[in-house]
Amino acid sequence: MPRAVYVLALGIFAMVTSEFVVAGLMPQMAEGLDATIPQIGYLITAFAVAMAVGGPFLTVALMKLPPRTALMVLFGVFLAGNVLAATATGYGTMMAARIVTGIASQAFFGVGISMCARITRPEVRGRAIAAAMNGLMLGTLLGLPLATLVGGRFGWRAAFWAITLITVVAAVATLFGVPRIERTEGGGDFRQEIGVFRKPRMWLVLSSSTLIIGATFSAFSYFNPILTDVTGFSTDTVPLLLIAYGAATVIGNNVVGRFADGHTVPVLAVGLVLNTVFLTGFALLADVPAPAVVSMMGIGLVGVTMNPAMVTRVQRTGNAGPLVNTVHSSFITLGIILGSSIGAVVIDVWGLRAPLWLGAVMALAGLATVLPDLSRGTTPVTGPAPALPDERNELAPADQPAGQR
């Protein structure tokens, strides 16, 4: 595996840690910015909406740049947003900072995953994507609790400064650890990349990712109150359970990455079936600690961990370009928004188990969007991703040893 893939994972780790940090510091930020808890909650929503809507536009604006240059520009924008957040003296400034970082984060995902595709052979792209996505899983496992710990001990601004430091380290590592690939003739053409969205099947594939992630986040967003108010765990125990859940996502992500290239659609189908079982089991037995924890760990193993297979399927349906990957990330973010927001609505009507039932329904709907490909077994699903005009063997031997491709 090229070392550059792990460098990209560090950048993703910084982005994800910034995305989640507000959730762990809501009381402190509310006091520091003279705002209410619901207003701080809107910062989380604004970040997600900025990712989903603004990320693709920023990606389009950077398409004419060489990939590494685009990544460095995105680091600069993201860094500026985090510094603005760390120095914000009012709620409006913080809102602006979250929007800026959200847009940059989404574009970074798209360009970074596209970069993974360009520096690895098509038959091992799933493993490369899984390695890069470890930044996402570790952001959940380590980034959020560490940022919360720093913010709780030294103040919420210190958490944003810590993320700023991680961002600088990741940017320097990218500058020296990611190979420079020039944009060749025909590369970065907006019309060529946008053309894949004319395929009706592309939208079906994108909707699968929305439903897969929506099913998981309808549950994940409310693990804390479910585990305390329904299962009966103490507030001191829940953080440990969430760390265990994060560890399960790391394991599941690497397992899925091993099979994502050769068995893309079967992996998704099996993952959705298992997630339906775990979500249903959690809903039925949420008041019994042992099966509740087992179900929660199961959701960790087969929920967000479908990312490598989802990305591989999208790339094989369209291409491995940055715009396709960014739009796909936007559909994933849409799943987070839908799962968490609809989950809040059903809680008000049916109680804390309702988001778990919602997740099971969304997982079944996701399975329905995958089954047509499973029954057809078509080449676009099982073969390598269609190449972009600039997806050639562009790395000289000095840039990347043959054994790493």
Least confident window among 116-125, 305-314, 387-396: 387-396
Question: Which DSSP category does 38 fall into?
Answer: H
Confidence of residue 106 (pLDDT cuts 50, 70, 90): very high
Q: How far is CA 19 from CA 72, 139, 369, in A?
A: 19, 9, 29
pLDDT at 127: 87
- Residue 386 confidence (pLDDT): 54
Q: Please report the pLDDT score of residue 126 as a whole number.
A: 83
Does residue 240 register a pLDDT over 80?
yes
**Given a cut of 70, is residue 333 above it in pLDDT?**
yes
Q: How far is C-alpha 90 from the chain's CA centre? A: 29
Report the interhelical angle of 200-220 vs 354-376 (nearest 10°). Answer: 150
Binned at pLDDT 50, 70 and 90, residue 377 comes out as: low
What per-residue confidence (pLDDT) applies to 221? 83
**248 — pLDDT class (breaks 50, 70, 90):** very high
Proportion of the chain above pLDDT 90, given as a percent: 58
Least confident segment among 62-66, 215-219, 275-279, 352-356: 62-66
- The superfamily CATH assigns to domain 1-180 is MFS general substrate transporter like domains (1.20.1250.20)
Residue 159's pLDDT is: 92
Q: Both tokens of residue 27?
A: 């009381």
DSSP H helical segments within 62-196, as ranges? 67-86, 91-118, 125-138, 144-154, 156-177, 190-194
Q: Which residues contact 279 (CB under 8 A, 6 or more apart)?
A: 215, 219, 295, 299, 356, 357, 359, 360, 363
265-311 tens-digit pLDDT = 999 999 999 999 999 999 999 999 999 999 999 999 999 999 999 99
d(CA 307, CA 150) in angstroms, rounded, equals 29
Which pLDDT score, from 0 to 100, does residue 144 have? Answer: 72
The mean pLDDT value of the chain amounts to 87
Query: If pLDDT is split at 50, 70 and 90, which confidence band does 123 have?
Result: confident
d(CA 151, CA 252): 29
Q: How confident is the model at residue 150 (pLDDT cuts 50, 70, 90)?
A: confident
User: Whole-model pTM?
Assistant: 0.85
For the cut 90, the answer to whether the pLDDT of residue 236 exceeds it is: no
Both tokens assigned to 93: 């400034």
pLDDT average, residue stretch 72-93: 96
Alpha helices in 322-378 (DSSP H): 322-350, 354-376
- Structure letter (DSSP) for residue 205: H
pLDDT at 334 over 60: yes
What per-residue confidence (pLDDT) applies to 370?
Answer: 96
Ranges of CATH 1.20.1250.20 domains, the chain: 1-180, 191-382
What CATH architecture does domain 191-382 belong to? Up-down Bundle (1.20)
With cut-offs at 50, 70 and 90, classify the pLDDT of residue 404: very low
pLDDT in tens, 357-376: 999 999 999 999 999 988 77
